[in-house]
Amino acid sequence: MRPTDRKYSETSEWAKIEGDTATVGITDYAVKQLGDLIYLDLPEEGDNVVKGDPCGEIESVKAASDIYSPLTGEVVAVNANLPDDLDNLAKDPFGHGWMFKVKLSDPGEVAHLKTAEEYDQFVKAQEAR
């Protein structure tokens, strides 16, 4: 089971909420689907991100995919070393593989994200297709 201290989107991003800030990354399922990672583009500090909108890009040897912001707010920190060390993302997507932190402009948006259990069920349904 995935960490229960965060919420999940159907586009496979996770958000760990601490006060009015969310740490954001992509799930192990997303990493597995992508395969060998080769490129990562993240938003910059000061950027405004909007729930459901693309805010970055990740590429592997077999696919490219947008990274969608699970919540709306201002980017207040970026894991600047991550694009140069994609192994951290591949090996530890819920820890060292965090991508950016967002100061939430609408904390109520969190209610629309999935719990770990709901996300696990979503992944099982995707894999059954």
| Beta carbons of 21 and 70 less than 8 angstroms apart | no
In angstroms, the CA 99 to CA 95 distance is 10
Helix, strand and coil percent figures for the chain, each rounded to 5: 25, 35, 40
What stretch of H or E contains 125? helix 116-128
Per-residue pLDDT tens for 58-75?
999 988 999 999 999 999
Let me know if residue 1 belongs to a domain: no
Q: Return the pLDDT at 124.
A: 96
Let me know if residue 72 belongs to a domain: yes
In angstroms, the CA 119 to CA 16 distance is 14
Q: Which domain holds residue 116?
A: 7-128
Number of domains in the chain: 1
- Computed over every residue of the chain, the mean pLDDT equals 96
Let me know if residue 2 belongs to a domain: no
In angstroms, the CA 32 to CA 68 distance is 17
94 three-class SS: coil
Q: For the residues 22-40, what does the mean pLDDT come to?
A: 96
Q: For the residues 38-52, what does the mean pLDDT come to?
A: 98
In angstroms, the CA 42 to CA 100 distance is 8
Q: Which residues, 6+ apart, have CB-to-CB distance to 66 below 8 Å? A: 54, 56, 57
pLDDT band at 31 (very low <50, low <70, confident <90, very high): very high
Residue 126, pLDDT above cutoff 80: yes
Residue 41, pLDDT above cutoff 90: yes
pLDDT band at 110 (very low <50, low <70, confident <90, very high): very high
Q: For the residues 42-56, what does the mean pLDDT come to?
A: 98
Q: Return the pLDDT at 1.
A: 72
Per-residue pLDDT tens for 80-101?
999 999 999 999 999 999 999 9
Let me know if residue 47 belongs to a domain: yes
CA dihedral sign of residues 75, 78, 84, 88: negative
36: CATH:
2.40.50.100
